[in-house]
Amino acid sequence: MTITIDDVLRWREVARAAMGEDLGLSAAAWERVEQARQIVEALVENGTRAYGITTGVGALSDTVVDRSAQSRLSRNIVLSHACGVGPLLDAREVRAVIAAQIANFAHGHSGVRPQIIQHLTRFLEQDCIPDVPSKGSAGYLTHNAHTALVLIGEGSARLKGVRMSGREALAAIGLEPLVLAAKEGLSLVNGTACATGLSAVALHRAERLLDWADAIAAVTLEAAGCQMPAFDERVLALRPSAGIAKVGARLRGRLAGSGIVAAAAGRRTQDALSLRSVPHAHGAAWDVFAETGRVVDQELASVTDNPAVAGTPDNPLVWSEAHAVAPALGQAADSLAIAIAQISAMSERRLDRLVNPLVSGLPPFLATDAGSHSGFMIAQYTAAALVNDNRRLATPAATDGGITSGLQEDFLAHPTAAANKLLGILDNAEYILAIELMAAVQAQDLLASGATAAPATREIRDLVRGWIARYDDDRPLHADMESLRNLLAHEDPPPLA
C-alpha cells in the first residue's frame, strides 16, 4: 500500500512507512516541490546571498561560494557531514527517517529537485536501507548525511539484507547516482527528519507496550488478589485524567468475572501502591504518550529546513531561521522516556510481589519445588538491573549542552539523542514487562486449583502458554524471556470484548 502525502504526514503514517508501506506525493505536493526548486534556481541566477546556497555552512556562513562551485559544495557537505559512528540503525528506523525527510521536502520550502524525492521514495519501495550509524549526532546532521551518501553513489546500504556499496545498491534498484545541485547537499543533511522518524517508531512501539502493560498488570493484580474498589469508575473520576480513566476501564474489563479477585475481596484494607496505583502511573504514561504524539505530528507539519525558500521565481525569498532546532521534540521524547521508565520500574515492583514469599502468598519465587528449584528468583534480578539501566537512560537529553561550529551553533536541543534514549528504554521495558508476564502466568497456573481466573486473563495465559511452557527449573530462563519479549514487541494483547 502507498501512503500519499498531500498536505501533511502524521506520525502513524511514518510508522506505517517504517513497517514497509510505500510513500508517494500528490499532484499538489509535487507542484510545491517544483515551485520551490524554481525559487532556488532564481536565487542562484540572481546571485542572492543565501545560507548554504551561495555561501558555506555553519561557521563558514559568511564565505561566498561562486556559482561554479555550488554543486561541489552540495556534494562536499554530504561527504564531510557523514561522521556517524557505532551500531547501525535498524531498517525500520532508517525507513522512518527517510519518510520524515520526504515529508519535509513535500512542504515545498526546501528547494530540492523532484529527483531527490523520487530516489528516496524508490529506496522505500525497494527496501534499500542506507547504513546509518546510530551515534554521533548532536542535533540532526550526521544521520541524514549517511542516507544522502547512497543517493550520490557513496557509502553503503543493505538491499534485501545484503550489504553493498551505495553505487551497487543504486544500480540494483535501477537508479543512477545523483549529481547534487545548489542547496541540495544542505537540505539532505538538514532538518529534524532523524529525530522525528525515530520518535515516530518509538511512539509505535510505546503504544503497543502500554497496551501490554495494562493487560499484564491485570494478570498480576488478579494473582495478587487485588482489592477492586480502588479501580471503581467513581473513585478514579476524583482525579480527572483521560489516561487514568482509560486504564481503570481496562482493568475492570480484564478482571471481570474473576473468582480469584472475588475470593480476595476484603482481605486487605488496601493494596500496596505498585498494585493500587496502576491506573495512575499507567494513566500518566498514556497522557504523556498522547502529548508526545501531538508534538511529533506538529514536527511533521513544520518546515525544518534552514534556509527556507518562499515567494515565486520572479520574487524569490530566502529566510535563514532556526527551524532545524527542535527543543519541543527533544523534551517530548524525554518525557515519554521518563514515563516508560517509571511504568517499567513499577512492573518490576509488581514482579517482586509475585515472587517474594514474604508478601505473595504463593510458593516462594513461584518455584514448583521450592528449595531444589529457584524459580523466578534471578529473573527478578534481571528486571531490577534493567530498571536501573532505564533510570540512567531517563536522564533528560534536552538539558545537555554543547558548542559546535566555532561558536556559531552554541545551543543544542538534542532531539536525536532523546529519541535514541527513548528507544533504548523501550528495549529494556519490553524485557521487564515480559518477565512480569512470565511470572504472572506462572502464578495463575499455581492458583489454578483454587478459584477461577477471569476469562480475559485466562485468554492472556493461553496465549503465553502457546509461546512458552510452565517453568519447572528445567531449562535456561533467558530463552523464555527472549520469546515473550518478542511477543510483546510484535503482537498486540488480546482485545477486550
Cell numbers for 275, please give them.
Answer: 498494585
Measured on CA atoms in the order 30, 177, 142, 3, is the torsion positive or negative? positive
Nearest Cα neighbor of 190 from 235, 148, 251, 250 is: 148
Q: In three state form, how does the secondary structure of 413-460 look?
A: CCHHHHHHHHHHHHHHHHHHHHHHHHHHHHHHHHCCCCCCCCHHHHHH
Residue 404 dihedral angles phi and psi, to the nearest 5°: -130, 170
pLDDT of the chain along its 497 residues, tens only? 899 999 999 999 999 999 999 999 999 999 999 999 999 999 888 887 777 777 766 655 566 666 767 788 889 989 998 999 999 999 999 999 999 999 999 999 999 999 999 999 999 999 999 999 998 776 667 899 999 999 999 999 999 889 999 999 999 999 999 999 989 999 999 999 999 999 999 999 999 999 999 999 999 999 999 999 999 999 999 999 999 999 999 999 999 999 999 999 999 999 999 999 999 999 999 999 999 999 999 999 999 988 999 999 999 999 988 888 899 999 999 999 999 999 999 999 999 999 998 988 888 888 888 778 888 899 999 999 999 999 999 999 888 776 666 656 665 778 999 999 999 999 999 999 999 999 999 999 988 767 799 999 999 999 999 999 999 888 999 999 999 999 999 999 999 97
Cell numbers for 117, please give them.
Answer: 524525492
H helix or E strand, kind and range, residue 128:
strand 128-130
In 3-state terms the chain splits into helix, strand, coil percentages (rounded to 5) of: 60, 10, 35
Give residue-wise pLDDT tens across range 174-200.
Answer: 999 999 998 999 999 999 999 999 999
Full-model pTM: 0.95
Q: Concatenated DSSP letters for 90-112?
A: PHHHHHHHHHHHHHHHHTS-S--
Structural domains of the chain ordered from first start:
2-190 (1.10.275.10), 199-490 (1.20.200.10)
Give residue-wise pLDDT tens across range 430-453.
Answer: 999 999 999 999 999 988 767 799
CB-based contacts of 4-7 (< 8 A; 24+ apart in sequence): 5/29, 5/102, 5/103, 5/106
Nearest Cα neighbor of 308 from 300, 319, 316, 317 is: 319
